[in-house]
Amino acid sequence: MSIEPDRLSPVQDEFYQALMAAHAGLDETESHALNARLVLMLANRIGDVNVLTQLLQSARSYSND
């Protein structure tokens, strides 16, 4: 699988906190839905189908771990 370079630091902790805050107070179904919306929005932000396909494959490759 392709290794993604780190583009998130030094704001990683801030992001993670904001992500958890976005989920605060939602039940599991609602959280699931939020994640789905977020994936679609991030895909739109990336906007490059090659990159997106690679990311999908990479994310999928961990499913058998």
Partner 1 sequence: MAYEYKPFSYVPPAGLTQAEPRHAVAIVGAGPIGLALAVDLAQRGIRSVVLDDNNVVSVGSRAICWSKRTLEIFDRLGIGPRMLEKGVTWKIGRNFHGDKEVYSFDLLPEEGHKYPAFINLQQYYVEQYLVERAQEFPDLIDLRFKNKVVGHQDLGDAVKLDIQTPDGLYRLEADWMIACDGAGSPTRARMGLDFSGQTFEEQFLIADIEMEQSPFGDADVPERWFWFDPPFHSGKSALLHMQPDNIYRIDLQLDAGADHKAEAAEDKVIPRIKAIVGDKPFKLDWVSVYRFRCIKLDQFVHNRVIFAGDSAHVVSPFGARGGNGGIQDVDNLGWKLAAVLKGEAKAALLNTYHEERSFGSAENILNSARATNFMTPKTPIEELFRSETLRLAQDQPFARKLLNSGRLSLPCSLEGMALQTPAAAQVAPGRALLDAPLISETGNSWLLNEVQGDFTLVGFGDVTLPDLSGIRRIGINQRADHPCFTAAGNHAIRRYGSGKAYLFRPDGHVCAVFDTPTEQAVLTAKARALGAELENAA
**Contacts to partner 1 by CB under 8 A:** 1, 3-9, 12-13, 16-17, 19-20, 23, 26, 28, 31, 62, 65
Report how far apart, in Å, the C-alpha atoms of 13 and of each of 20, 29, 53 are.
11, 25, 27
Which position has the token pair 């801030």? 14
Complex with partner 1: residue 26 or 40, whichever CB lies closer: 26
Q: Are 1 and 61 in contact (CB under 8 A)?
A: yes
- The CB-of-37 to partner 1 minimum distance in angstroms stands at 14
